[in-house]
Amino acid sequence: MTPIEVRYTINDRAVGDDIAQGLLDRRLVACWQRRGPFASHYWWEGRQETADEWLYAAKTTDTLLDEVVEAIGERHPYEVPEVIAVALVGGRLEYLDWIVSETEHHHAEA
């Protein structure tokens, strides 16, 4: 298992918190953080749009990626939500091991 960070953006803080907390409650992630609000500027259906959004970052492992992405998508209100994974290629070994250890409990309970 390799530690990763899954990120998603959303314009509703309460829904974003609910999604993130659901991931934590199910032990699909070891932890989550919220940043924002910030202004997002993007193209949608042929025109430029702007929205105030929140960025969520959740630490998990590559083996749980598909399940985490699916869980976010089930609750996310956007037609095409931004949900991306970023490899954690370095850092404190104890922290990276903690991510793996905390998400292993999901497998034990499943």
- Give the number of domains in the chain: 1
The CATH number of whichever domain residue 102 belongs to comes to: 3.30.70.120
Q: What is the pLDDT of residue 15?
A: 98
User: What is the dihedral angle through the alpha carbons of 76, 80, 83, 84, rounded to the nearest 10 degrees?
Assistant: 180
Q: Which strands make up the sheet holding 83-87, listed edge to edge?
A: 31-44, 47-61, 3-10, 83-87
Task: Say what the pLDDT of residue 23 is.
Answer: 98
Residue range 44-90, pLDDT digits in tens: 999 999 999 999 999 999 999 999 999 999 999 999 999 999 999 99
Residue 73 has a pLDDT of: 97
CB atoms within 10 A of CB 34: 14
Parent domain of 78: 3-109
The whole-angstrom separation of Cα 88 and Cα 78 is 27
Specify the pTM.
Answer: 0.93
Q: Report the C-alpha gap between 102 and 25 in whole angstroms.
A: 12
Percentage with pLDDT > 70 across the chain:
96
